[in-house]
Chains A and B, each alone.
Chain A
Amino acid sequence: MKTVVIGVIGADVHAVGNKIIDHVLTEYGFNVVNIGVLSSQEDFINAAIETNAKAILVSSLYGHGEMDCKYLRENCDEAGLGHVKLYVGGNIVVGKQDFKEVEQRFKKMGFDRVYPPGTNIEDAVKDLREDLGE
């Protein structure tokens, strides 16, 4: 069973999607470690270390994602989590921006997968299987 860490980063309290992602990924056979809302980069990293997670799925729904996710890749690498995949999704920037551009911005920050608003979690399941192997 592959372990993934999920949570909502920064000062964000959007809990609904988080609870649903937890439910759906569990149903698809992942071992879900849910650190919930209001989680710092440190919380994500500690949870991934403690549980030997293969991927970190960062949710951000309130617009501050760009600031909250800065250096997450570098901090993961420094903590010995270079092998851990980083996904991010939600409303990750302030306002309506061209998603292609936003995706590039976050990929440059070291994220492996970047999802636009309104993505079905099932799409991420497909990517997880591809990235982590069955």
Chain B
Amino acid sequence: MIQNKKIPWEDFLKKREQILTHWETGSSPLLDLDKAVDRLKNMPDHKNFAKKLRKAKAEGITMIQPRAGVALLDQHIELMQFLEKHGEADFLPSTIDSYTRQNRYQNAQDGIKESERLGRSLLNGFPAVNYGVEGCMKVVDNINVPIQARHGTPDARLLTEIIHAAGWTSNEGGGISYNIPYAKNIGLEDTLRYWQYCDRLVGYYAEQGIELNREPYGPLTGTLVPPSISHTVAIIESILAAEQGVKNITVGYGQGGNVVQDIAALQTLDELTNYYLKLFGYNDVFVTTVFHQWMGGFPADEAKSMGVISLASTVATLGKATKMITKSPHESQGVPTKEANAEGLRASKIITRLLREQKFPSSKELKEEKEMIKKEVNALIYAILNVGKGDLAQGVIKGFARGLIDIPFAPSEMNAGKILPARDDQGKIRILEFGNLAFDEDIKTFHRERLEKRAKLENREVSFQMTIDDVYAVSQGTLVGKPRQKGVSA
């Protein structure tokens, strides 16, 4: 039975032997832990993710990072260099392709071959496992800023071993956030174990004096996720990581769209994560926040997309996010060209710098939103702990099974999938169907009242049609989805 307990080192090593056989690159001599420690110790500070985040937080700067990754190693390096130079990226990513995310390394190998044959990337990311430590080293040795793996891999153990041994100093993911939005029928017990392993490795490096950054994936399904739900997952994953010895954590949140709610979300994310880490006895974890620019559908028009990107950058900076994940004007079409990606970065950058000294004024409205988020997060975490009889890992498994915590639009069968979100009259994300979510009547009434207000304004009932209209609204140029007639294209 899984528990929130640090994995004993001997058990870890036994498991490790097995993990390294999952693909041929696992046999690289560079995966020797002493060699990996040496390599990481020799990484200069400006290439250390954790250290650069500490510096950014101290200086009050919002750092920018794109998503990017292609199938071929040389082209991937070119892409990274381009985004550093022409996008002014403070941090680089390597978005990992979707075959690797499902551990289909043979498919990824075929994708590399096809891409070589056609001269264009047929994979939607960088197949880091196939290139192994040697390939990943080549990437980090050819850039001048810290680099992180960004993916969506339920079982990222081999990937994690490879990237850290290569000198990549941050990894995104978690046992919930890389399961529920990214898998169909993988058990939470399994993914919690996989990510305990990834975190334990980071904990081991910490014991050797190497600080690596870990980032639970904040936006989850990226679709109308109420802040309290994504916060709860981020806080739980932070605690689970801290237990394994992780000391530097970045918690994330995806832009919702209402400025006040988004700023309330960013402020509470930092406050609540620190609060809960200390409550559970982890006193030496350094917490930063990351804001994801709009994760839903983008307008097809590139200028309008740039507008969405700019709004997001404004909110992230005023909300004092330490880092922001950027989008590009090609977002509606999928994977962007390097030029479009760099344009999104530069537009974002100037806004973070122009707003650096400015503060978002407090208000009754902001306070109310913050209070609501805190109330909801407290209710969810209490329910999860309770059902787990005090153990957080058990609580997660049972809490999801019973729908006490529930993520909208998630593909996983481990998720109840009973709740439905919709926007209120001001575009704040509320909940219209609660399923079995562990909210009390007071909280539910608050949500219902806000949604009723919108329904009245639009002269319709509160219904799933509102949710559908909201899902497509931003791509069509509004935040709150307007009622559309059946059969008529908007």
Contacts and interface: CB of A to CB of B under 8 A. Distances in A.
Centre residue among B114, B120, B409, B488 by max chain A CB count within 10 A: B409
Given A10-B98, A11-B99, A117-B300, A19 B334 contact: no
Interface in A9-68: 10-13, 15-16, 18-20, 23-24, 36-38, 61-64, 66-67
Interface stretch (B178-186, B239-247, B274-282, B370-378): B178-186
12 contacts: A11-B99, A13-B98, A15-B409, A19-B409, A61-B334, A62-B334, A63-B98, A64-B122, A91-B334, A94-B121, A120-B490, A125-B487
Given A13-B182, A117-B300, A122-B487, A95 B223 contact: no
Interface of B: 97-99, 101-102, 104, 107, 110-111, 114, 120-124, 152, 181-184, 221, 223, 297, 300, 330, 332-337, 340, 409-411, 464, 468, 471, 475, 486-490
A13 B222 CA distance: 12
A37 B123 contact: no
Q: Chain A, interface size: which category? A: 20 to 34
B467 to A, nearest CB: 9
Contacts of A10: 98
Interface SS, B side:
loop
8 closest A-B pairs by beta carbon, nearest first, are A91-B334, A15-B411, A63-B124, A96-B333, A11-B98, A37-B411, A11-B102, A16-B409
B488 A13 contact: no
Given A36-B184, A94-B335, A120-B490, A64 B471 contact: no
Contact of B124 (A15, A62, A126): A62
Interface SS, A side:
loop
A122 B282 CA distance: 52
B488 to A, nearest CB: 7
Contacts of B340: 96
A123 interface: yes
A13 B181 contact: yes
B98 A96 contact: no
B123 A64 contact: yes
Interface string A97-134: 00000000000000000000110101101100000000
A63 B102 contact: no
A66 B184 contact: no
Contacts of A13: 98, 152, 181-184, 411
A104 B223 CA distance: 32
Contact of A117 (B110, B333, B489): B333
Contacts of A123: 489
Given A15-B410, A62-B124, A64-B98, A95 B184 contact: no
Contact of B475 (A19, A36, A61, A118): A118
Given A15-B410, A123-B489, A63 B335 contact: yes
A77 to B, nearest CB: 23
Given A95-B334, A117-B334, A12 B490 contact: no
B424 to A, nearest CB: 20
A120 B478 CA distance: 16
A37 B124 CA distance: 17
Contacts of A64: 97-99, 111, 122-124
Given A20-B471, A64-B99, A95-B335, 19 more contacts: A11-B101, A15-B410, A15-B411, A37-B184, A38-B184, A63-B98, A63-B123, A63-B124, A64-B97, A64-B98, A64-B111, A66-B122, A67-B122, A93-B334, A94-B334, A96-B336, A117-B332, A122-B486, A122-B489
